[in-house]
Amino acid sequence: MTQPIDHVAFQARRLPGKLAMADLASDRRWTYAELDDAVARSAAVLRHDHGCGVGDRVAALARNRAELAMLHFACARIGAIYVPLNWRLSPAEIAWMLEDAEPRVVFGDEELTRAGVMGHHLDDLAAAMAAADPLPPEPIDQDLPSLILYTSGTSGKPKGALISERNLAQTAVNFGLLADVRIESVFLVDAPMFHIIGLISAVRPVMMHGATVLISDGFEPGRTLERLGDPALGVTHYFSVPQMAAMLRAHPTFDPARLRRLTALFTGGAPHAAHAIRQWLADGIAIVDGFGMTETGCTFGMPLDKDLISAKAGCVGFGAPGVGARIIDVDGRDCPPGVAGELLIKGENVFSGYWRRPEASAEAFTTDGWFRTGDMATCDADGYYAIVDRKKDMYISGGENVYPAEVEAAVQGLPGLAEVAVVGVPDEKWGEVGHMAIITRPGAVIGAQDVHAHLEPRLARYKLPKHITILDDFPRTGSGKVQKAHLKAVLMGDDDRRP
């Protein structure tokens, strides 16, 4: 009987000599045959040296490097669960996650020392792998969880999403179809590999299609631009959050001519303003926005057509064939085209539940199995979805619903504006009003009158922010998204944690 194997093992038989992975920081390279061997040795180290088996957690706290992907593949082969930790968090937050996950073993780099965590250095793991005998192939149970990814916690305490190999394979299928991933594709990964983008969306489709992934140790706008434009590297796909894309554009070395050979720049993880998207398109670069979550992986994506992207700028596209989607109102009825409601998702890409959170898991799904994303969305008559805002971020001002993402998108293009975030705050007269926090470009001066003059022709008066504050930076998650709950506390003076 033929037993299921993972994509690395499959490509090692199909394309043994093809370049699978390169670690740019250490200048190491692995063909598919070599990567398969490294994963097999990593699995042997986990099982024989650390006693890891089915259901055991294997945590990692480290900057990007190839061994992190190998650990995850190895966990899947022995039925263990990989738990990448966000090294940008405080030691107390990391300690909480470790207490929650209870890993059998922890690997990492210098971040272990910074966080005060006892663990094994990844250099020692690499040495142990070199000395180990590869673990013989074993059947992969596609329905076992191989990953716990902690949610980014933009609106509350993180929860560990339990994600299976079946979920991850469907995400690879979805992104592969939407992003035209081919054997010739080359992905550059410098999104953090504790995030769904860096660990999954930019790695699993590569392995499925026999393409190549280049792993960077982190995002540095100038260095990333140089790599994206380097014909010797041949990068075709780059995935980031919109904030990273904005930093690339703003860098002094930004030269759109060097990036036009890319299949596209792909963005997700946060709303991407239509104004910003059209700036990229004007430079001849496809900027493809999409939608996904820790819990759902890659879900929607725009087509690779610049005219369609422009016409539907602000949309996140449509789903791959395996993705089911609905938009419902507060009474659970399906919304007509153009009407906002909560987005529900169903498909093999959707996770099974939250680690040790039975109540949260039950609340996350409808009785008939649809996942409640918590995102407010619309779907137009052509079937293109747009994310309006997080359901929890919406506030009610004078009886009217206000979506901060709509206000944030409307202010884009204001001269001197670098970044903006809006939250709802209590107000005696209106119940809630908007408080806008902005970051200005170097040397720029923006006042409340400038913001209102820009917004008044674009928004109803009840949507205009009552308060405007200039900040140096925002509190953020590890992937760069704004932590709205912390930002609101800072703006209201209830949180002494300054970004």
307-324 pLDDT tens trace? 999 999 999 999 999 899
Rounded to 5 degrees, φ, ψ at 15 are: -135, 60
Q: Across 36-191, where does the E strand assignment appear?
A: 57-61, 81-84, 105-108, 120-121, 145-150, 160-164, 186-189
Task: Identify the residue whose tokens are 């040795």.
Answer: 41
Of all residues in the chain, the percent with pLDDT exceeding 70 is 96
Q: Residue 301 pLDDT > 60, yes or no?
A: yes
Domain 7-323+348-366 shares a fold with domain 393-491: no
Residue 408 identity: E
More confident residue, 326 or 92: 326
Q: Residue 334 pLDDT > 80, yes or no?
A: yes
Rounded to 5 degrees, φ, ψ at 209 are: -100, 0
More confident residue, 157 or 178: 178
Task: Identify the residue whose tokens are 């966000």.
Answer: 86
pLDDT of residue 485: 81
Separation of alpha carbons 224 and 214, rounded Å: 12
pLDDT of residue 154: 46
Q: Residue 271 pLDDT > 80, yes or no?
A: no
pLDDT of residue 223: 98
Per residue in 416-464, pLDDT (tens digit) is 999 999 999 988 878 789 999 999 999 999 999 999 999 998 887 888 9
> What single string gives the DSSP state of each residue in 276-320?
HHHHHHHTT--EEEEEEETTTEEEEE--S-HHHHHHTTT--BEE-
Of 3.40.50.720, 3.90.1010.10, 3.40.50.10070, 3.40.50.12780, which CATH number belongs to 7-323+348-366? Answer: 3.40.50.12780
All structural domains of the chain with their residue ranges: 7-323+348-366, 393-491
Note the maximum CA span of the chain.
72
Q: Residue 155 pLDDT > 60, yes or no?
A: no
pLDDT of residue 494: 60
Of all residues in the chain, the percent with pLDDT exceeding 90 is 77
Residue 60 identity: A
pLDDT of residue 482: 86
pTM score, two decimals?
0.83
The HSE-up count of residue 402 (CA atoms within 13 Å, CB side) is 28
Model confidence at 134, in pLDDT bands (50, 70, 90)?
A: very high
In our burial notation (b when 16+ CB lie closer than 10 A, e otherwise), range 136-168 reads: eeeebebebbbbbbbbbbbbeebbbbbbbbbbb
More confident residue, 109 or 375: 109
Separation of alpha carbons 135 and 127, rounded Å: 16
Model confidence at 47, in pLDDT bands (50, 70, 90)?
A: very high
Model confidence at 499, in pLDDT bands (50, 70, 90)?
A: very low
Q: Residue 239 pLDDT > 70, yes or no?
A: yes
pLDDT of residue 498: 36
Residue 494: count of CB within 10 angstroms of its CB: 9
Q: Residue 270 pLDDT > 90, yes or no?
A: no
Beta strands 264-267 and 395-397 are: unpaired
Which fold is adopted by the domain 393-491? Answer: GMP Synthetase; Chain A, domain 3 (3.30.300)
